[in-house]
Protein backbone atom coordinates (compact mmCIF):
# COMPACT_ATOMS: atom_id res chain seq x y z
CA UNK A 1 0.00 0.00 0.00
CA UNK A 2 1.44 3.36 -0.95
CA UNK A 3 1.78 6.13 1.62
CA UNK A 4 1.06 8.82 -0.95
CA UNK A 5 -2.49 10.23 -0.90
CA UNK A 6 -4.56 9.83 -4.03
CA UNK A 7 -5.72 12.96 -5.79
CA UNK A 8 -8.71 13.28 -8.08
CA UNK A 9 -8.84 15.89 -10.80
CA UNK A 10 -11.82 18.08 -11.62
CA UNK A 11 -13.02 19.21 -15.04
CA UNK A 12 -10.56 22.11 -15.15
CA UNK A 13 -7.56 19.81 -14.77
CA UNK A 14 -6.64 21.09 -11.33
CA UNK A 15 -6.27 18.63 -8.50
CA UNK A 16 -8.45 18.80 -5.44
CA UNK A 17 -7.13 18.43 -1.89
CA UNK A 18 -6.11 14.82 -1.18
CA UNK A 19 -8.56 12.83 0.92
CA UNK A 20 -5.85 11.15 3.03
CA UNK A 21 -4.67 14.38 4.66
CA UNK A 22 -4.84 14.60 8.43
CA UNK A 23 -6.76 17.39 10.17
CA UNK A 24 -3.58 19.18 11.21
CA UNK A 25 -1.80 18.93 7.84
CA UNK A 26 -1.84 22.00 5.59
CA UNK A 27 -4.31 21.59 2.73
CA UNK A 28 -3.22 24.30 0.36
CA UNK A 29 0.06 25.69 -0.87
CA UNK A 30 1.01 29.31 -0.54
CA UNK A 31 1.14 31.34 -3.72
CA UNK A 32 4.79 31.99 -4.61
CA UNK A 33 4.07 35.59 -5.65
CA UNK A 34 2.23 36.47 -2.47
CA UNK A 35 4.89 34.80 -0.33
CA UNK A 36 7.65 36.91 -1.85
CA UNK A 37 5.74 40.19 -1.92
CA UNK A 38 6.61 42.49 1.00
CA UNK A 39 3.86 43.16 3.47
CA UNK A 40 2.51 46.70 3.27
CA UNK A 41 1.50 48.16 6.60
CA UNK A 42 -1.28 50.68 6.69
CA UNK A 43 -0.56 53.56 8.99
CA UNK A 44 -3.46 54.70 11.04
CA UNK A 45 -2.80 57.94 12.91
CA UNK A 46 -5.76 57.44 15.24
CA UNK A 47 -4.16 54.26 16.64
CA UNK A 48 -7.13 52.02 15.83
CA UNK A 49 -6.64 48.74 14.05
CA UNK A 50 -7.47 48.76 10.38
CA UNK A 51 -10.18 46.35 9.18
CA UNK A 52 -7.73 44.48 6.95
CA UNK A 53 -5.35 43.92 9.86
CA UNK A 54 -8.18 42.56 12.01
CA UNK A 55 -9.13 40.14 9.24
CA UNK A 56 -5.52 38.98 8.90
CA UNK A 57 -5.23 38.38 12.64
CA UNK A 58 -8.50 36.42 12.63
CA UNK A 59 -7.38 34.39 9.63
CA UNK A 60 -3.97 33.59 11.18
CA UNK A 61 -5.62 32.51 14.44
CA UNK A 62 -7.96 30.24 12.49
CA UNK A 63 -5.02 28.75 10.54
CA UNK A 64 -3.11 28.12 13.79
CA UNK A 65 -6.14 26.33 15.20
CA UNK A 66 -6.45 24.18 12.07
CA UNK A 67 -2.75 23.26 12.21
CA UNK A 68 -2.92 22.24 15.87
CA UNK A 69 -2.47 18.55 16.69
CA UNK A 70 -5.72 17.18 18.14
CA UNK A 71 -5.70 16.34 21.87
CA UNK A 72 -6.45 12.66 21.25
CA UNK A 73 -3.45 12.33 18.95
CA UNK A 74 -1.10 14.30 21.22
CA UNK A 75 -2.06 12.16 24.24
CA UNK A 76 -1.47 9.04 22.17
CA UNK A 77 1.95 10.34 21.13
CA UNK A 78 2.89 11.29 24.69
CA UNK A 79 1.89 7.88 26.03
CA UNK A 80 3.91 6.04 23.43
CA UNK A 81 6.90 8.32 23.94
CA UNK A 82 6.72 7.77 27.71
CA UNK A 83 6.64 4.00 27.25
CA UNK A 84 9.28 3.65 24.54
CA UNK A 85 11.60 6.09 26.31
CA UNK A 86 10.73 5.29 29.90
CA UNK A 87 11.37 1.55 29.84
CA UNK A 88 14.94 1.73 28.41
CA UNK A 89 15.80 4.74 30.59
CA UNK A 90 14.59 2.89 33.69
CA UNK A 91 16.67 -0.12 32.71
CA UNK A 92 19.68 2.18 32.27
CA UNK A 93 19.27 3.46 35.83
CA UNK A 94 18.59 -0.05 37.12
CA UNK A 95 21.94 -1.10 35.63
CA UNK A 96 23.73 1.04 38.24
CA UNK A 97 21.72 -0.44 41.11
CA UNK A 98 22.23 -4.04 39.97
CA UNK A 99 25.94 -3.51 39.34
CA UNK A 100 26.31 -1.96 42.81
CA UNK A 101 24.82 -5.07 44.46
CA UNK A 102 26.91 -7.39 42.26
CA UNK A 103 30.11 -5.59 43.26
CA UNK A 104 29.27 -5.16 46.98
CA UNK A 105 28.16 -8.79 47.44
CA UNK A 106 31.20 -10.03 45.52
CA UNK A 107 29.16 -12.25 43.20
CA UNK A 108 31.65 -11.74 40.37
CA UNK A 109 34.11 -9.13 39.17
CA UNK A 110 32.32 -6.55 37.05
CA UNK A 111 34.44 -4.09 35.06
CA UNK A 112 33.43 -0.43 35.21
CA UNK A 113 33.48 -0.21 31.41
CA UNK A 114 30.81 -2.95 31.16
CA UNK A 115 28.49 -1.01 33.48
CA UNK A 116 29.12 2.17 31.49
CA UNK A 117 28.49 0.53 28.10
CA UNK A 118 25.33 -1.25 29.22
CA UNK A 119 23.86 1.87 30.80
CA UNK A 120 24.81 4.01 27.77
CA UNK A 121 23.14 1.44 25.53
CA UNK A 122 19.90 1.65 27.49
CA UNK A 123 19.99 5.46 27.58
CA UNK A 124 20.61 5.51 23.84
CA UNK A 125 17.61 3.24 23.33
CA UNK A 126 15.60 5.71 25.40
CA UNK A 127 16.53 8.53 23.03
CA UNK A 128 15.60 6.42 20.01
CA UNK A 129 12.38 5.48 21.83
CA UNK A 130 11.33 9.14 21.94
CA UNK A 131 11.39 9.37 18.15
CA UNK A 132 9.85 5.95 17.67
CA UNK A 133 7.06 6.73 20.13
CA UNK A 134 6.20 9.90 18.25
CA UNK A 135 6.25 8.30 14.81
CA UNK A 136 4.60 5.01 15.80
CA UNK A 137 1.46 6.68 17.11
CA UNK A 138 -1.54 6.80 14.80
CA UNK A 139 -1.99 10.39 13.61
CA UNK A 140 -5.62 9.71 12.72
CA UNK A 141 -8.06 10.74 15.45
CA UNK A 142 -10.49 7.86 14.88
CA UNK A 143 -7.96 5.00 14.70
CA UNK A 144 -5.93 4.16 17.81
CA UNK A 145 -3.31 2.16 15.89
CA UNK A 146 -1.63 -1.13 16.68
CA UNK A 147 0.21 -2.14 19.84
CA UNK A 148 3.76 -1.76 18.49
CA UNK A 149 2.89 0.74 15.77
CA UNK A 150 5.08 -0.71 13.02
CA UNK A 151 2.60 0.11 10.23
CA UNK A 152 1.98 3.59 11.65
CA UNK A 153 5.72 4.20 11.88
CA UNK A 154 6.25 3.43 8.20
CA UNK A 155 3.31 5.62 7.19
CA UNK A 156 4.34 8.55 9.39
CA UNK A 157 8.02 8.27 8.47
CA UNK A 158 6.99 8.40 4.80
CA UNK A 159 4.98 11.55 5.47
CA UNK A 160 7.93 13.07 7.31
CA UNK A 161 10.42 12.36 4.51
CA UNK A 162 7.96 13.71 1.91
CA UNK A 163 7.65 16.92 3.93
CA UNK A 164 11.44 17.21 4.16
CA UNK A 165 11.80 16.71 0.41
CA UNK A 166 9.15 19.30 -0.43
CA UNK A 167 10.71 21.80 2.01
CA UNK A 168 14.12 21.25 0.44
CA UNK A 169 12.63 21.67 -3.02
CA UNK A 170 10.91 24.93 -2.00
CA UNK A 171 14.15 26.18 -0.49
CA UNK A 172 16.12 25.54 -3.68
CA UNK A 173 13.42 27.25 -5.77
CA UNK A 174 13.58 30.47 -3.69
Distance in angstroms (rounded) separating the CA atoms of residues 93 and 22: 38
**Predicted TM-score (pTM) of this structure:** 0.60
Query: First vs last Cα of the chain: how many Å apart?
Result: 34
Whether 11 is in a domain gets the answer: no
Total structural domains in the chain? 1
Whether 15 is in a domain gets the answer: no
pLDDT of 23: 62
Q: Is the pLDDT of residue 66 over 80?
A: no
Whether 77 is in a domain gets the answer: yes
Whether 92 is in a domain gets the answer: yes
pLDDT of 146: 87
Q: Identify the domain containing residue 149 by its residue range.
A: 71-173
Percent of the chain with pLDDT over 90: 47
Whether 50 is in a domain gets the answer: no
Contact by Cβ (8 Å): 152, 136: yes
Q: Of 69, 39, 31, whose CA–CA distance to 56 is shortest? A: 39
Whether 61 is in a domain gets the answer: no
pLDDT digits over 108-163, tens only?
Answer: 999 999 999 999 999 999 999 999 999 999 988 888 888 889 999 999 999 999 99
**pLDDT interval class at 30 (50, 70, 90):** low
Looking at every residue in the chain, the average pLDDT score rounds to: 79
Whether 19 is in a domain gets the answer: no
Q: Of 66, 61, 83, 58, whose CA–CA distance to 136 is shortest? A: 83
- Would residue 145 be called left, alpha or beta, if left means φ above 0 and alpha means ψ between -120 and 50 degrees? left
Whether 99 is in a domain gets the answer: yes
Amino acid sequence: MSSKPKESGNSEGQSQAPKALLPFEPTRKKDAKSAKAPAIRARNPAGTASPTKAKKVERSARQREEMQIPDVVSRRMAGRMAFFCGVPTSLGMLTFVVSYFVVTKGLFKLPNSAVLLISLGFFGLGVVGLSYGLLSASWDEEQPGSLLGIQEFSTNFGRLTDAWKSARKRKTQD
